[in-house]
Chain A
Amino acid sequence: MGKPNKEQTLATERRRKTILSVVLAIICIIYVMPVLAVVINSFKANTFVKTATFALPNAQSFVGWDNFVTGMTFGNYAFFDTVKYSVIITVLSTALILIFCSMAAWYIARVDSIFCKIVYYLCIFSMVVPFQMVMFTLSKTADTLKLNTPWTIPIVYLGFGAGLAIFMFVGFVKSIPLEIEEAAAIDGCGPIRTFFSVVLPMLKPTLISVGILEIMWVWNDYLLPVLVLDINKYRTIPIHIQYLRGSYGTVDLGATMALILLSIIPVIVFYLACQKHIIKGVAAGAVKG
C-alpha cells in the first residue's frame, strides 16, 4: 500500500469533520430536549404530564394557554410579583456590587495599607466559605437590621458577594499603569474624579464580566433570599417555584411547567443577546482562587 497522496488525506479529513459535525448536531438536539419537554408540557393538562411526558400535545391533552393562566395566580401568589421582586433584587444587587466593589478594589490596589491587605485577604477567604456556614446567623442579622425586603436585601448580596468582585477588580486594576492616574492628578484631578472619569471607563471589560456573574448568581439564587426575605410577602421566582412544587398535596404539573417556561424565557433571551460577554465573563470568573 502506497502512501495516500495529499488530496486523499484532505478528503478523509473533510469527511471526518463532517461526521463530527453531524454527531455533535445530534448530541445538541438531545441536549435541548429537556427544555423542549418543558415547552410541550406547559400546554398539556396536568394528568398527561406524568403519563405522556414526551408526547406532543394532542386533541385530548392540549389545553392552550390554560396552564399559563392558572400559573399566574398559582399558590395564591401573583407570578408577576415574583418577577418584579426578582428583577428589583438582581438589578439593585448587581449595581451595588459593581459600584462599591470597583471603588474599594481601586482603593485597595492603590493605597495598599495594612487595613487594605486585611480586607483583601478576608475577601479571598470569603470565597471559599460555603453559604451553610453563615446561613443561620446571616438570616438573623439581616432580620435585626431590617434587610429582609427586596429593597434592602441587596446590601446582604453586596456583603456576601464582595469577595469575588473585589478579587477580580483588584486583579485588573493592578494591570493598569499608574502613569495614567498620575497624569490625571497633575492635571488637577482629585481622587474621586480620577476614579470616575479615568479608572472606571478602563474597568469596563471587568465590569461586564463581574456584572454577568452577579446577575447569574442573584437571579437564580434560592437559599439566601428564602432565609432572609419575609416570604409571605416577598417571593422571588426560584422561591415561588420551590413553594409550589415542594408543598405537599396534588401539584398542577402543567401549570408548574408553564411557570418554569416563563421563568427561563428571559434567561435564554438574555443569554442569546449577550452570549459573547457571558462566556467571556464565566471564563474570567473561573480563574478565581
Chain B
Amino acid sequence: MAVRNSIRTATRRWSWLFLGPVVAAFVIGFVWPFIQGIYLSFCQFKTISDAQFIGPGNYGKALADISFQHSFWYTALTALVSLVLINVLAFAVAYVLTQNIKGSNIFRTVFFMPNLIGGIVLGYIWSMIFDGILAAYNTSILLNTAYGFWGLIILMCWQQVGYMMIIYIAGLQAVPEDMLEAAKIDGATKLQTLFKVIIPNVMPSITICVFLSLTNGFKLFDQNLALTGGLPYIIQPDGSTVNTTEMLALNIYNTFYTSGAGTRGVAQAKAVLFFILVAGMGLAQLAYTRKREVQQ
C-alpha cells in the first residue's frame, strides 16, 4: 500500500504533462464551444461578439419553424426504416457467415468495405448511380422526394450493413456451443434454435446495433448533403421553403449558413434541441444496458 501511495504522489507531480495537453485541447475543442453554444441559443447574434441576450425566444421560433418540424419527422422516418433494414440484413448476413461456409472471409471483407468510404464520396457515387438509372425515365433523384428517401435508405444500408455485421458476428461466435448442442439433441428445429437460443444470447449485440444505427440515422449529415442536398423543395403558403429530403443536421446547418446570418440564434437553439434528442438516446442506451447487466 505504501508503494502504491508513493507512486500516486510521484505521478501527481506530473499531472501537467499527462493531463495538460488533453485538458487544454478538450476545453478549446469541446467544453468552451459547448458552454458558449448553450448561451448563444438565448441570444440574437451574427458573430459571437455582437451577441445580445434575448431569452428563450429562439426556441419558440425553432419549434414553430415548419422546415425544422418537417426535417424532424423526415429524420425519424429515415432513422427507423434504416434501423430495421440495416439490422435485419446485417443479422442475416452474420448468421449465414457464421455457418462455416466457403469464402466467408472474402464475403466479410467485401461487405465491410463501404464503411471506409467517406459520406461525401458515398453520396456522389450513389447520386451518379441513381441518376444513371433514373435518366432512362427522364427524371433525377433531385426531383422526387420518394426517390430521394429510398435512395438514402439504400445508401445507408450499403454503408452500414457491413459494420453491424461485424458486431453481430462477434455476438454469434460467443453463443455457447453446448447450448446449441443441447438444442440439437432436444430436437429443436433451426428456427426454434434461432429464436429461442441464438437471439436471446446475442441480445447485447442487438442492443448496441439498434442504438448505433438509430443515432447514426439521426446524426446523418454528409450523405444527406451529397446525395440530394435536401432537394426537391416546396414553397409553403407563407412563402418559406421546405426542403423535402432535408434531415435535422442539414436543416441546422442551412439555418446557420445559408439562410443569411439573421437566423443564427434560431439555428443555435435548434442545435441545442438536436443535442438533447441525440444525448437522450445515448442516455437511454446507457440506462438500458445497465439494467440488463444488473439482471444478469
Identify the A interface with B (CB < 8 A).
Answer: 17-18, 20-21, 24-25, 28, 31-32, 34-35, 37-38, 41, 49-51, 53-54, 96, 100-101, 103-104, 106-108, 110-111, 113, 115-116, 119, 122-123, 125-138, 140-142, 145, 147, 155-160, 162-163, 166, 178, 181-182, 185-186, 190-192, 194-195, 216, 219-223, 237-238, 241-242, 245-246, 253, 256-257, 260, 263-264, 267-268, 270-272, 275, 278-279, 282-283, 286-287, 289
Contacts and interface: CB of A to CB of B under 8 A. Distances in A.
Contacts of B32: 137, 141
B25 A24 contact: no
A206 B201 CA distance: 26
Interface in B233-268: 249, 252-253, 256, 264, 267-268
Residue of A130, A163, A242, A275 with most chain B CB atoms under a 10 A cut-off: A130
A100 B135 contact: no
Contacts of B252: 132
Contact of B110 (A32, A110, A185, A191): A32
A56 to B, nearest CB: 13
Contact of B225 (A50, A242, A256, A275): A242
Given A138-B29, A241-B124, A50 B208 contact: no
Contacts of B253: 132, 135, 223
Main secondary structure of the interface of B (DSSP, over half): helix
A130 B11 contact: no
Contact of A162 (B25, B33, B113): B25
B29 A128 contact: no
B117 A192 contact: no
Interface of B: 3-4, 6-8, 10-15, 17-19, 21-23, 25-34, 36-37, 40, 47-48, 93, 96-97, 99-103, 106-121, 124-126, 128-129, 131-133, 135, 158, 163, 166-167, 170, 208, 211-212, 218-219, 221-222, 225-226, 229, 249, 252-253, 256, 264, 267-268, 271-272, 274-275, 278-279, 281-283, 285-286, 289
A137 B48 contact: yes
Nearest to B41: A133
B167 A21 contact: no
The 9 closest A-B pairs by CB, nearest first: A159-B29, A53-B132, A220-B118, A128-B282, A107-B18, A159-B25, A137-B33, A134-B33, A138-B33
B135 A51 contact: yes
